[in-house]
């Protein structure tokens, strides 16, 4: 991960307490800067005040925003710097995956997943964000530092 910024802020909205806690513990041990939330609405409230570069979200929640609503809001309101969104779901039909991607998710991970899978998806997302930031820095003629924060 030498070229990837593991210190980049990651937010996760995960319904189940035990899954949320396990994901956060695993990723913190791996050196990631992660904050987790019980709902997409809680994540969105924090995101508006302090945006993150990567969001991991369950697709469905009992009330408030769905994970897809969250992805839409991020895509519509926070174009730069780019935010990489990973949707998590038990739904695996192609139309459900297409719906999530159309809403703004960049990746779709089927549950149940193992810690290796989520780490891999995060690393791919970090690589993608670094690439986007480098393109932005070249096109704007800046060092790209603003895009990485």
On whether the CB atoms of residues 12 and 24 are closer than 8 A, the answer is: yes
Residue 4 counted as domain residue: no
On whether the CB atoms of residues 50 and 75 are closer than 8 A, the answer is: no
Closest to 27 (Cα-Cα) out of 125, 112, 107, 119: 119
Check residue 148 and give its pLDDT: 42
Residue 122 counted as domain residue: yes
Check residue 77 and give its pLDDT: 87
On whether the CB atoms of residues 85 and 105 are closer than 8 A, the answer is: yes
User: CA-to-CA distance for 91 and 97, rounded, in angstroms?
Assistant: 8
Output the pTM of the full model: 0.87
Check residue 4 and give its pLDDT: 63
Series of mean pLDDT values for 10-residue runs along the chain (149 residues)? 68 95 92 95 96 96 94 89 94 91 95 90 94 87 50
Residue 36 counted as domain residue: yes
Residue 120 counted as domain residue: yes
User: CA-to-CA distance for 81 and 130, rounded, in angstroms?
Assistant: 11
What domain count does the chain have?
Answer: 1
Residue 128 counted as domain residue: yes
Residue 2 counted as domain residue: no
Residue 66 counted as domain residue: yes
Return the axis-axis angle of helices 40-49 and 67-77, rounded to nearest 10°.
20
User: CA-to-CA distance for 88 and 52, rounded, in angstroms?
Assistant: 18
Residue 3 counted as domain residue: no
Domain of 76 in residue numbering reads as: 9-148
Check residue 142 and give its pLDDT: 55
The CATH number covering residue 119 comes to 3.40.50.2300
């Amino acid at each position: 991960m030498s070229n990837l910024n593991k210190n980049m802020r990651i937010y996760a909205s995960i319904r189940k307490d035990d899954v949320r806690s396990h994901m956060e513990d695993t990723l913190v041990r791996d050196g990631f800067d992660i904050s987790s939330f019980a709902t997409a609405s809680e994540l969105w409230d924090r995101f508006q005040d302090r945006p993150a570069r990567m969001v991991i979200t369950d697709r469905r929640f009992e009330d408030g925003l769905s994970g897809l609503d969250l992805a839409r809001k991020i895509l519509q309101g926070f174009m730069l710097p780019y935010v990489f969104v990973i949707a998590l779901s038990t739904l695996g039909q192609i139309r459900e995956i297409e719906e999530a991607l159309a809403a703004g998710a960049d990746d779709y991970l089927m549950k149940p997943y193992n810690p290796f899978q989520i780490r891999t998806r995060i690393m791919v997302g970090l690589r993608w964000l670094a690439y986007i930031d480098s393109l932005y820095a070249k096109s704007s003629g800046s060092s790209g530092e603003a895009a990485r924060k």
